[in-house]
A and B are shown apart, each in its own frame.
Chain A
Amino acid sequence: MQDKTPLSPPPVLGHYDRPMWESIRARAMRLQQCKHCNTFRYPPGPTCGYCLSLDFEWQPISGKASIWSWIVFHRQYLEAYTTPYNVISIQLEEGPLMVSNLEGSEPKGSWIGQAVEICYVTLKDGTILPRFRLIQ
């Protein structure tokens, strides 16, 4: 039988994205931290948007975050994502906002402000994705 598992939508892989995705595959996500003003950066890029310093270090993130907003797709745009499914915006403890999905149980009522932590989910096609779970 032919494998019909749809491929997950590929990430944008610019020059500075690659190390981040390598750290995700190792299940220990890292982001760039500015060596001059200590600001964490997402998405990865060549310079700090706050002080323009080109010096940075890849630092592990704590994985702690809180939900800023959430949506539920009812129309399917991507073969690998059958509806309905959620997408969340979270603020990492380190500062940046990031888009992800809420894995596992869902809050009753508003999701905004709920504390979450990172988990690494292996999708059907083998892609490893950082997602977030409610902190019970």
Chain B
Amino acid sequence: MEQKIPLHRSAAFVGIGHSDWRQDWNLVRQGQVPFDSYGYATVAFQRALQDANISAQDIDGLLSGQSTSYERMGEVLGLNVRWGGLGNAAMAISQAVMAIETGMAEVVALVYGNNQRSANVQYGGAKAMGGENVLSYVYHAPWGMTSQGSLYAMLQRRYAQERDYTESDLGQVAVAQRAWASKNPHAIQQQPITIDDYLSSDYVCEPLHLFDYCMINDGGVAMILAESNRARQICDKPVYIETIARYDYNQNGTSLRPQLETFYTHAQSKVADCIFNATGWGPEDIDLVQIYDSFSVHIPLALEGYGYCKPGEFPKLCKEQGIGPGGKRPVNTSGGHLSESYMQGWNHQLEIVRQLRGTCGNRQVENCNRAHYSSDIFGKAFSIIYGR
């Protein structure tokens, strides 16, 4: 079946904001609770409005992250809108674009707040977060397997053997992202690490080391997405959404077959065809790759799945091109979930906007015109291509 080419520059980001993640982190570690999820979202929303230089009255659509209720978010922000909903980062953005394309909204606020650290949200154990929707998070509990990290540990073990990757090969991700984070004033973890630090760090769920895991921290993110003509009225440098595509593996998901058999890379190749056909670009035309990184193994998987390197050649890409500062293939330049902030894919979009605006200071990617966001969570391979 021939696929219709999805949207092309119909919507653009005009404003971004986030809470003070470092301050949130420090206060929570001292036992304080700065805000609840809605409070973090409100701080971010105010800053996004300020960044776009518009008022709350200009907003006619609202998308809330999955850690909050849409209705309560609208109430807290005082937003009466003509369209809205709930979704994770990539789903929220695609829904907002669809609303704009169909004329159901023109200026959409996308807001996310999460008090996961101060509220002690559990990502492992019998009451693991998300189990009501994703059966694999809880189904294997009788055998002692519940944490999301363990699912990726299981994947990484088989993947590393199939590709003949060593721990040092895969540890390059955590080292490179920390190097980026050391240049990011917003990043929570800024202390550089070496490959030896990585290798000598504790295993949490072997073969995953501590540094393979994202942090768990409180915070908020907000973004304003506007119909393109309106976006050009609002600001000089809108960041356009060029195209979005997705392919989901649901069959046999609970038994973990999709992630253990193809590591999601087949789903990613289908999405790759779609996004690169739609834009007429290829991996060589992309200046920045931002990858959802709850665990570091997402990075080699996506780089292989989307053709940034051949399967088995991730170590070669790291060595010959480089994914860290100074490298020719910059990936997760804010430090990502491993080192900047675990805002569940939302902070990756902020970094894309900042890089395409050219405001990233000493971590700015030169001539950054096109960016690719990839996530592969819950069996969904998702991509968004951004352009200036």
Contact = CB atoms under 8 A, between A and B. Distances in A.
B366 interface: no
Q: Pick from A10, A68, A101, A110 the residue with the most CB of B within 10 Å.
A: A68
A71 to B, nearest CB: 4
Contacts of A51: none
B360 interface: no
A31 to B, nearest CB: 11
Contacts of A96: 252, 255
A74 B255 contact: no
Interface in A73-94: 73-75, 77-78, 80-81, 84-85, 87, 89
A74 B202 contact: yes
Contact of B158 (A12, A68, A129): A68
A26 interface: no
A135 interface: no
A78 B144 contact: yes
B283 to A, nearest CB: 29
B260 interface: yes
A74 B205 CA distance: 6
Contacts of A112: 157-158, 161
A57 to B, nearest CB: 20
A99 interface: yes
A136 B275 CA distance: 50
Interface in A87-132: 87, 89, 96-101, 110, 112, 127, 129, 131
Interface string B165-191: 000000000000000000000000000
A8 B143 CA distance: 9
A43 interface: yes
B261 to A, nearest CB: 8
Contacts of A78: 125-126, 141, 144, 146
B78 interface: no
A109 B157 CA distance: 12
Please classify the interface of chain A as helix (H, G, I), strand (E, B), loop, or mixed, using the class held by over half of its residues: loop
Contacts of B58: none
B155 A69 contact: yes
A69 B150 contact: no
A71 B205 contact: yes
Contacts of A72: 203, 205-206
Contacts of A46: none
Nearest to A111: B157
Interface stretch (B99-107, B132-140, B232-240, B285-293): B132-140
Contacts of B256: 89, 97, 99
A60 interface: no
Nearest to B141: A9
B257 interface: yes
Interface in A26-79: 42-43, 49, 68-75, 77-78
Contact of B142 (A42, A85, A89, A129): A129
A48 B251 CA distance: 10
B147 interface: yes
A78 B207 CA distance: 19
Interface string B283-316: 0000000000000000000000000000000000
Contacts of A99: 139-140, 143, 145, 255-256
A77 B147 CA distance: 8
Nearest to A131: B143
B23 interface: no
B166 to A, nearest CB: 13
B81 to A, nearest CB: 38
Nearest to A49: B251
Given A72-B206, A78-B126, A9 B144 contact: yes
B98 interface: no
Interface of A: 8-12, 42-43, 49, 68-75, 77-78, 80-81, 84-85, 87, 89, 96-101, 110, 112, 127, 129, 131
11 contacts: A9-B126, A10-B142, A71-B206, A73-B144, A77-B147, A78-B126, A78-B141, A97-B256, A101-B143, A101-B144, A127-B142
User: Which 8 pairs across A and B sit closest by C-beta, in order of nearness?
Assistant: A9-B141, A81-B144, A77-B124, A99-B140, A72-B206, A69-B158, A97-B255, A71-B153
Given A71-B153, A74-B203, 4 more contacts: A10-B142, A71-B145, A87-B145, A112-B158
